[in-house]
Amino acid sequence: MPYLRANGLDLYYAEAGRGAPILWLQGLGADHRAWSAQLARFGQEYRCLAPDNRDVGRSGRWPLPYTMADMAADMAALLRALDAAPAHVIGLSLGGAIAQHLALDAPDVVRSLCLVSSFARQSPRQRDLLLSWKEIYARVDVATFYRQANVWLFSDRFYENPRNVENLARYTASGTVQEPAAFGRQVDAALGHDTRDRLNAVRAPTLVVCGANDILAPPYLSAELAEAVPGAQLAVVPDAAHSVNLEHQREFTRLVRDFLHGVESS
């Protein structure tokens, strides 16, 4: 299994394909498997690296408080050790927050940024939700937690297909369980994220993607993010919620591929 020792942690990562490197960063509580569809598609022309963040999946646990900057430092170390810098960096939600810090703190390892369903800061409503999730996660089993959490991640249209719900349940059941303490540390790191005063220093070409029906990280937060990054493009996907990469795979693939091809040709 591919592991890399970085910053005192064993980081697990999945790898697929050859070509210019792409680093795929997932959100709160999610591991590399949530990018499986994208690795299959983009692995046909890119070298795709999808790590498990610290405290989730098969990566090591860090028993002390940490920040988004610490998580970004893990990814910078991974890219350098694997000779994959500079890479196109694609981050979803919390992964998008990590990507922002990566571009700000280690710009030499970032070729471009794609920030999906992400934010420059947590809104008051998001903060309250994350704090409640932290409490709920410690009190119920994982399947029950994600049954309610997924309602925030996917649209009504997605739920109209029973097979989608069945696949979500299988995904949750098949993964490595994230301990409540580890989940709580990721929540705390997310709550400390605020890059609004720094984003004007980002120099990497940037695409911001969001779902028009995202209730977890509403589109106005993506618009705020795009406005703060010089030259950033904003793409809003109709009828999509937070997990836009899963709900609208073809449109997501088209948007990201067109963006990457544009960066590669410039």
pLDDT by residue (tens digit) across 51-108? Answer: 999 999 999 999 999 999 999 999 999 999 999 999 999 999 999 999 999 999 999 9
Each residue's pLDDT tens digit, 106-157: 999 999 999 999 999 999 999 999 999 999 999 999 999 999 999 999 999 9
pTM more than 0.95: yes
Phi, psi of 206, rounded to the nearest 5 degrees: -135, 135
The sheet carrying 46-51 orders its strands as 3-6, 9-16, 46-51, 20-25, 87-92, 110-116, 206-211, 233-237
Phi, psi of 8, rounded to the nearest 5 degrees: 80, 10
* Domains contained in the chain, CATH given: 3-265 (3.40.50.1820)
Mean pLDDT, residues 38-47 taken together: 97
In angstroms, rounded to a whole number, what is the distance separating the alpha carbons of residues 146 and 89?
Answer: 27
Q: Residue 168 CB: number of other CB atoms within 10 A?
A: 19
Taking 90 as the threshold, does the pLDDT of residue 1 lie above it? no
Taking 70 as the threshold, does the pLDDT of residue 183 lie above it? yes
Please, which pLDDT band fits residue 21 given cuts at 50, 70 and 90? very high
| The predicted structure's pLDDT at residue 266 | 87
Phi, psi of 130, rounded to the nearest 5 degrees: -65, -40
